[in-house]
Structure 1
Amino acid sequence: ESTLNPRALSPAKAGGLWQLMPATGKEYGLEVNEDVDERYDPVKATEAASRYLKNAYAKYGNWESVAASYNGGMARISKELGSQQVDSAYDLYLADETMRYIFRMLAMKLIMENPSAYGFNLTADQLYQPIEYKVVEVNTPVDDWAAWAKKQGIDYLTLREHNPWIRSKTLPNKSGKTYKVNIPTRDSLSRSRQKVKVYNPAWVVAD
């Protein structure tokens, strides 16, 4: 959806890692406004997308139709399944983008499960490493995120880079909601000092 870019924004205004439309984000429990947009929070957006996928699977009973609905919308896929009298999106005639979408997802799944089988011969030191964070909870208004960041030992650039859900320089927070702010550790921001971990051994070739 986003080439794994949590700040991605499509021409249609779908945002974040999972490319959720504003209305869809709100429907699945995300805050979306000019100060906070949780579609850009990788964790909360993934949880919202998972709820969407579970609802779609409960509706269709097969993952290919779920995938097609994620690209084309549940209303459209449901309508086409009915009008074309089939039970699976594999058998639907749809716009090229949606028809290709299912198979592109399958191809990416196979490649990411076993990259070397498809010519991607990676070593452990070539992998991106996860950033380590100290998480600070904020449940009050923030008058100036830049000043807040400085008190945490980082700058505004680093704050926004690692908390893309922050969309303005202030946080009104009239409701007293608790937000979790990621403060990256100094070592994890340095490639030379990062701890090298491999989540899936199949991702790398033996030395």
Structure 2
Amino acid sequence: MRKFLIIAGLLVLFLLFAPIVGRKCNVPLVSNGKTIAVAKRPLSPVWSEKEYPVFSGGTKLFSLWGKLLEGTPLFIYPFPDEKRFLCVDDDDTCVLVFVVDCRATAPRPPSGKEWPSDDYLRDYMKRRSTNVVMDPKGIVRLPSYDEVEEAGKRVAGMTSKELRTGCFPTLDLGVYRYYLPRELLLKNLATNRISPWP
């Protein structure tokens, strides 16, 4: 009986501490096989507000805000120029897709087709995305049609391991992690998207 209680106690301790000890703390942002930046996941309790900072070298480029059931980052795609980052963020009322543009020169608005094509959704995403990004070293804007298309093609071409490595887990229990399925991520990056919740 004593052995059973000891084993049960150790099992309970393992289950309590596994989500803390075994959690994914860093999300490498990789483009063309090269790590461009690293997004850090805070160790704060799951119910508290969090800041998910993105670093390149030792420089903080921007942070994304998150809180349990109210919004968390899902995926960040670093463009090959190493200065633009397409972010997919679950913002409670809409899955936001936006670009943090850290280029030194004042970027012009992207040319070509606007994305998304729906005026209401475009305006809503534009307003909400600035509420999610903190301390950017550049501007926060909606992506161009071409940028969304590029990120969608990259996600579609990733192996399962590459996708899991580059995504934020939506559930992280330490020993088990659940990630947004590729199909849902691609729906959020669809060039013909017209809904806040694809």
Q: Which category of TM-score, normalised to the shorter sequence, fits these structures?
A: under 0.3
Larger helix percent: 1
Q: Output the TM-score relative to the length of structure 2.
A: 0.23
